[in-house]
Chains A and B, each alone.
Chain A
Amino acid sequence: MNTSVLVGIDIGTTATKIIVIDLDGKLQGEVSLPAALFSPQPNFAEEDALQWWRNVCQGVPLCLQQAQVDPEQVLAVGVSGMVPTIILVGTDGFPLRNSIQQNDARSHVEIDFFKSQLNEKEVFYKTGSAITQQSIGPKLLWLAKNEPDRFAKTWLVMGSYDYINFCLTGQPTLEQNWALESGLFDLHRRDWDDELLSLSRIRREQLPPVHAPSEVIGKVSPEAARQTGLLAGTPVVAGSADHVASAFSVGLKENGDLLVKLGGAGDILYSIDRLEIDERLFLDYHVIPGLYLINGCMASSGSILKWFRTQFAPELDYPDLDREAEGIRPGSDGLILLPYFIGEKTPIFDPLARGMFFGLTLQHTRAHLYHAILEGISFGFLHHIQVMKERGWEIHRVRVANGGAKSHLWRQVTADVIGYPLEEVAHHPGSSLGAAFVAGMGVGAFASWSDIEKYISISHVTQPFLENHEQYLQRFALYRQLYDSNRSHFRTLAKIEGIAEQVVLD
């Protein structure tokens, strides 16, 4: 009963997740409580930060109980979450309104205003973030214009896990990834940019101090101890953004490590040991000091497979569809898919792009279409890898995770297309593991960041077939030209459909 443990908490869009890990690589407890997303108007995305806190208060005791540990065994607590959300905190420490989520798209007028006032490229190279619907500045301006009373009462602005940290410790802080993704922070000076703050109508003192993920920012307060069952005085670290903690939790820990996530969207993340800014990709701080996490996100990926199954094969499950497509040759007999079914984020940033099947013949079957979807998604990943190679960033190791990684076919197609062996990480708990480990590093529970490997098991290594890869490279050239040749058609289509005005055009 004397083993030490760490608590990791993740504030997700649909759930608050709490885990307990020991120091030897084992998960001891896992609890998940639902959270609700509100959309009072189209394009609005909000949540109730107090619901997250109630989930923490309810979930931590349950998780400790499940793990059969006493609160005194908890060495430290780390929290991760969505980023960048906005929580306006009043002087009483309570939120003044619901959170405004990172994917909330209410501030398009303010985005245009920011763009008109600023040199976008300059802002990008200064802050590492483009001016997009994710940016914090335009959203604060929206609040100032539309909810002046509340905005005037704002004592502090925080992000999702920063607010939970504040509830736990009473210390207002911001983790550095919020600062980076806010678009208000000068990366080179590591300080807020006054011009951007003034456009956002926010004062410097309304932004709490910025911390690195593993810095201990405070201790659990007696009040929080009463509510959560944790011991007062338990150290709490700054934590990290969910995707950053999650990438680390599957072993992205050195320069050149790459992670491909086969989920509903297609995320690809890359560890690098220096600050590099590229307009085609996103940038974050890694949880490990000195490293950065360059990342890309394809707006749709597994969601296309789900769409295909729903529309064309409701009677089949994914393994059946995989079996049906197993006999299809690489290249799907000339069928190419552009996977931009809800527009695309990285690396082309084109909200108006759409999906396309190209090269259709009467010889193609349902299985060909399914196989072409897997290839199209993989081409999307290869596109990101080509951008990295073009920048001279070396890839040393590739891991693959999330739901799609369980599919042998999807893994093989991905390996063949990108041309690297893929190490599949079996059932990892995700960002809460990263948060718990970061907490451990903060209190010296681990000797090295590499100890994260204790928690990771590799279930498969999928080797690429090089002759397939060669063939895919040729097909990929067509894939790229296909988008270029149709870029103007996507704009025409948006005009016909009358959606061009609603989307911020580049």
Chain B
Amino acid sequence: MGQGYLLGVDIGTYSSKGVIVTTEGQLVASHTVPHGMDMPKPGYFEQDADQVWWHDFVIIVQNLLKKTALDPRQILALGTSAIGSCVLPIDEEGNPLRAGILYGIDTRASEEINYLEEVLSREEIFNRCAMHLSSQASGPKILWIKNHEPDVYQKTRWFLTSEAYLVYKLTGKPSIDIYTAAGYAPLFDVYKKEWIPEIAEYITPLDRLPPLYWSGEVVGEVMQQAAQQTGLLAGTPVVAGTTDAAAEALSAGVADFGDMMLMFGSSIFFIIKTQELIPTQRFWSSNFLEAGSFAFLGGMSTSGSLTTWFRDQFALLELNEEKNGGVNAFTSLAEQAAHSPPGSRGLVLLPYFEGERTPLHDPWAKGLLFGLSLKHTRADIYRAILEGVAYGIRHNLEAMREENVIPERVVAVGGGTKNPVWLQIVADVCRIPLQVPTEQIGASYGDAFLAGRGIGLFNDLTEIRKWVKIKETITPNYEISPQYDFYYRLFRSLYDQTKELMHDLTNQLIK
């Protein structure tokens, strides 16, 4: 039968990705499938469970097996992750009753949030869930189904997340992992790690909520029918997965307490592993992937979305050059930005082009470019964008410190890490060294590791360290850091002094 391998599959917002890796963490093959998202109404975001989630999974597994020419018996175990937390109602037979309602981008349940906060009290919810209700919370979305689609609600046997739906299709068993369950607020008590009976009457009886697992615990085995569809061997162990962000953190080597993943995606995302649950108004916190570990999370609204915006609006020449086989437009912009000095010759950018999440929680915040003069060049402005995001990261780190959360090791991942100028700016502005992993495979890599944990290949999740190699460490230049301090203070004051005007402007725009 030969060597054994592990399989991991992650369902993202715009694409799904699967990998097959050796038990030492060596990547053997990967496969990616793009997909779309339905927006039936403004603020409504959905994906079809079978046509997107399960379909992608099947295609990916079939392709991986084909690419690697592995005997399915060589797949020792598999794990899944997905965007989260989503809500999918399924009936007694396991058939989806409607499309899956997506995570925080779907804002349909605002009335339900108001209702639940009224009847349960904001404080009480926070005391048990360690978070306030927002569009991220799944409880109000379940209530929305109950209120707006009573037929669906009546027929619902289980409410499942997207990664758990894959597990269900494979094993016939409902499940949810404890990290993701926090997203089912106000139904889940993050301290006791159990569904809350008193809240059931306001939303749904608890018997429609799936059994709880730690990530990497085996939920069941691949059933015959799923085996036929996917090409996997019946009987292959399937573990409880998790939300993509947590799987991503694992894949970046977040192993020890104090390890932080700094994700440079279209937005910035932070996950830090902590020794205890730290309830906070300004951030999010939850159980992490195994008993005794916790996660402290933050997220900004923009990052790569800003550099992409700038490239698409103002770097047509570079884009053309890239299309004609020349240098990548981002590389070329970064080189130009490197020639502008720290402080971008007196420019400060507030990156709140989409409002801001942590630590401001201000959806009405706006972008601002301050200090313009006729001497400024396009390169100065591009650098100001890179610096503005760095100031936002520093703001988050400082606010975390106020909560006594101090990262001891920061691993930077995501598309933005291809930009060495940006990484250096962030290191200098925040005075933190940034480690960049050799391989950035993403959440599916973490899923594969969880699968290995499930069948006892690893004693605990800290062994991910063996898998993740660090390519380089960007160290702060402490001579430059003080220069940024002035601009950073200005950055903070700019928001404080113009916040009201941002809100007034929003009021004018929605009138």
Contact = CB atoms under 8 A, between A and B. Distances in A.
Interface string A280-322: 0000000000000000000010011001000110010000000
B353 A486 contact: no
A3 to B, nearest CB: 47
B501 A361 contact: no
B343 A496 contact: yes
Given A307-B376, A334-B505, A341-B372, 12 more contacts: A300-B374, A331-B508, A336-B505, A342-B373, A354-B373, A358-B505, A359-B368, A359-B505, A478-B501, A486-B498, A493-B348, A496-B486
Given A359-B505, A489-B497, A497-B346, A315 B317 contact: yes
A360 interface: yes
Interface in A340-390: 341-342, 354-362, 364-366, 369
B354 A362 contact: yes
B367 A489 contact: no
B120 interface: no
Contacts of A485: 497-498, 501
B309 interface: yes
Interface string B486-511: 11011001100110011011101100
Interface string B310-347: 00011011000000000000000000000000010010
A365 B302 CA distance: 17
A315 B353 CA distance: 27
A489 B498 CA distance: 11
A478 B494 contact: no
Nearest to A299: B374
A481 interface: yes
Contacts of A366: 313-314
A333 B366 CA distance: 12
A358 B367 CA distance: 6
A207 B313 CA distance: 58
A355 B373 CA distance: 6
A307 B374 contact: yes
A482 interface: yes
A307 B377 CA distance: 9
**Binding site secondary structure of chain B:** helix
B34 interface: no
A369 B369 CA distance: 12
Interface in B366-396: 366-374, 376-378, 381
A103 to B, nearest CB: 16
B370 A496 contact: no
A475 interface: yes
Contacts, number: 112
Interface of A: 300, 303-304, 307, 311-312, 315, 331, 333-334, 336, 341-342, 354-362, 364-366, 369, 474-475, 478, 481-482, 485-486, 488-489, 492-493, 496-497
A362 B371 contact: no
Contacts of A300: 374
B346 A357 contact: no
Contact of A362 (B309, B370, B377): B309
B305 interface: yes
A354 B353 contact: no
Contacts of A493: 346, 348, 370-371, 490
A478 B354 contact: no
A486 B381 CA distance: 19
A354 B372 contact: yes
Nearest 4 A/B pairs, CB to CB: A360-B367, A355-B372, A357-B369, A496-B486
Contact of B490 (A342, A369, A489): A489
Contacts of A307: 374, 376
A492 B506 CA distance: 27
A21 B309 CA distance: 54
Contacts of A361: 353-354, 366-367
Contacts of A334: 366, 505-506, 508-509
Contact of A359 (B367, B487, B490): B367
A482 B372 contact: no
15 contacts: A334-B506, A334-B508, A354-B346, A354-B371, A354-B372, A355-B373, A356-B368, A357-B372, A358-B498, A358-B501, A358-B505, A478-B501, A486-B498, A488-B497, A493-B370
A359 B343 CA distance: 21
B25 to A, nearest CB: 37
